[in-house]
Each structure stands twice: as structure tokens, then as C-alpha cells.
Amino acid sequence: MIVVSDTGPLIALAKVNCLSRLKHLFGQIYIPPAVYRELLAKIGPEAKRLDDALAEFITVTAAPPVPLKVDTATARLGSGERQAVALAYERGALLLIDDRQGRSAARRLGIMVSGVVGVLLQAKAAGLVSSIRALLDEMRFQGYWLSDEVITATIQQAGENDD
């Protein structure tokens, strides 16, 4: 399966030192240049983790020509989201994206989407993480925004509501 990522899920996973889970789950991850530029702006412990992942399994890919319907659907998105959606559309790829408007635009274009929560649920099912609750709490502590509703639903889906 081809997987394209927007910036958000990569940063969130880097904050909790779980980027390698992407490699275990998907092998290679593709990002467009705008996402790469956003990742380069990161500082703190996640910057080194992102650099390591870029050297190992995240590949920067040229932004494809954007068909009119993709351009129209993504007109209100930032450049990283726009390029990630366009790349996923061109490649028929799964798109990792947490931005609500970006997810909506991608779905309207028929692109399969997942986000950091979906990755963590897959990682738990594969035995790559033991507690999603702890990782979500740490993401929030590190400044990655997740709503209470998303966290509650995820903990229930992961079967951790009695922990």
C-alpha cells in the first residue's frame, strides 16, 4: 500500500517517539515538498527523530500536477495539506492527515484517509504499542491538539477504557 503523509501525524508521532511504527506498518512513507519544509521548521526532540525518519523511510516526492477538481477541493487548505492531498490523489494512496478540512477534502476526492489515531490503533493491533491512552496523553502534553471526544472514542475503541 502506498502511503502519503501530511505534516501533523508525523509531528505527533515524533513527539512521542513512535515514528518507527509507520515504517513497521507501511514500509515507505511519501511526502510532498511543502510537508518537508514544514518538518524542517520543527525544533526540540522531535526534530532529530524526524531527521532520522527522513533518512530512513520517509521520501520527499515532487508535487504532482494538480487536476482542477483537486485544486478546487483543496483551495482553502494550507500548502502542506494541498500538496499531500494532491500526491495521495495522484498515487491512489492512503493519506495520513489530521486536519479536519484536509480530511474532508480528501474524502470528497475518494482518497482513503487515516490520522495519528488510526495509526496508533493499527500499531496496537499489530502489537507495536501497548497503551494508546499513554501515547495520546503524552501527545497532548507535548502540545499536539486532540479533542476530548477523539481521545475518549479512541480509548474505547482500543479497549483501554478500564485501564
The model's pLDDT over 114-158, given as tens digits with 9 standing for 90+, comes to: 999 999 999 999 999 999 999 999 999 998 988 899 999 999 999
Give the chain's domain count.
Answer: 1
The torsion angle over the Cα atoms of residues 43, 118, 79 and 14, rounded to 10 degrees, is 10
Instruction: Evaluate if residue 82 carries a pLDDT over 60.
Output: yes
pTM above 0.85, yes or no: yes
Written as nine digits, the cell of 51 is 531527521
The span from the CA of 11 to the CA of 70, in Å, is: 25
Closest by Cα among 163, 73, 55 to 109: 73
CATH number at residue 105: 3.40.50.1010
| Host domain of residue 107 | 3-117
